[in-house]
Amino acid sequence: MIKSMTGYGRGEAVLHGRPITVELRSVNNRYLDCTVKLPRIYVFAEDAIKRRVQASISRGKVDVFVTIGPSEEGDARISVNRPVAEGYLNALRELRDSYELRDDISVSLLSRFPDVFLVEKATEDLETVAADICTVLDLALNDFNAMRVREGEKLAQDVRNRAATIAELTGKVEERAPGIVADYRARLEAKMQEVLQNTQLDEGRILTEAALFADKVAVDEETVRLRSHLSQLEHMLSEGGAVGRKLDFLIQEFNREANTIGSKCSDIETARYVVDLKGEIEKIREQIQNIE
């Protein structure tokens, strides 16, 4: 299936008592460019996150945002830093006795001084935390890819519609081609008749000139290649996968054939078809810039 390079996905879960949220956003980019933003203390999980993203996404500028809340199972143990607390207490008593102050030393007063309490973080199993983050990341990726598939289907349908228009215009160019040569021959005969007047026309010369002109303006090779490109385009869209770069290359071939037809055309009607043809090709080119 065809996927768009732009999308958004979100996943959230509580694992091992720890709430985790992962969000993904992406925009168009020639290659995969993944940026991970997560709390500094969990930076060890960045490589695992990038590997998981690379396994699921081929192209695009992807931003991954990871939010991790405090563990419900208790992340820290708090205890009294006795040496520091006793130091503050002795200093307060000395201050009281030296200046005959009212004794209002209390627990609330001591607790306000820095480093009175020790906060010890519980030891975390880094592999478990990284695995939990990747589990939630998978949820976000599923949501993200579902959105990209929906957008990709719309892009593919639009490209198919424009390809049908290109096929129709190619048919009109093919139908018009014999008439161009016939018109040229008629004009050539009229011109020679005007110049030579009563002199007998050289039918062989007219045939030679018409044949040379027909060869010069022949576009059958270009239209055959255009139809071949249309067939390849449909095959790529049906095959799906990361075909964006292939489609980009193929559309350059479309442009090459259209330009060649334009350089050969010698009448206004065919020139109009070529203008419309190139317009549809350009619109397809713009759309495939969004395809992975």
Q: State the pLDDT at residue 201.
A: 53
Q: For residues 282 and 291, what is the distance between their CA atoms, to the nearest angstrom?
A: 15
Domain 7-72+126-148 maps to which CATH number in 3.30.230.10, 3.40.630.10, 3.40.50.300, 3.40.50.2000? 3.30.230.10
How many degrees, rounded to 5, is the angle at CA 264 between CA 260 and CA 267?
130
Question: For the residues 50-66, what does the mean pLDDT come to?
Answer: 95
pLDDT over 70 (residue 221):
yes
pLDDT over 80 (residue 210):
no
Percent pLDDT > 90 in the chain is 53
- 208 pLDDT band, cuts 50/70/90, is low
Domain chopping of the chain, boundaries: 7-72+126-148, 76-121, 150-288
Q: State the pLDDT at residue 243.
A: 94
Q: State the pLDDT at residue 104.
A: 81
State which amino acid sits at residue 48. A
Beta bridge partners of 271: none
pLDDT over 60 (residue 202):
no
**Over the stretch 137-189, which tens digit does the pLDDT of each residue have?**
999 999 999 999 999 999 999 999 999 999 999 999 888 776 665 565 555 55
Say if residues 91 and 50 touch (Cβ distance below 8 Å): no
State which amino acid sits at residue 224. V
pLDDT over 90 (residue 284):
yes
Sheet of strand 7-15: strand arrangement: 7-15, 18-27, 60-68, 32-37
How many degrees, rounded to 5, is the angle at CA 268 between CA 263 and CA 269?
105
**Over the stretch 122-134, which tens digit does the pLDDT of each residue have?**
666 788 889 999 9
117, containing H or E segment: strand 117-121
Entry pTM: 0.70
Percent pLDDT > 70 in the chain is 83
Can you read off the two tokens belonging to residue 152?
Answer: 């990709």
Q: State the pLDDT at residue 227.
A: 93
From 1, 75, 30, 17, select the one nearest 238 (Cα to Cα).
1
| Of the candidate ranges 37-51, 169-183, 273-287, the one whose mean pLDDT is the lowest | 169-183
Q: State the pLDDT at residue 199.
A: 54
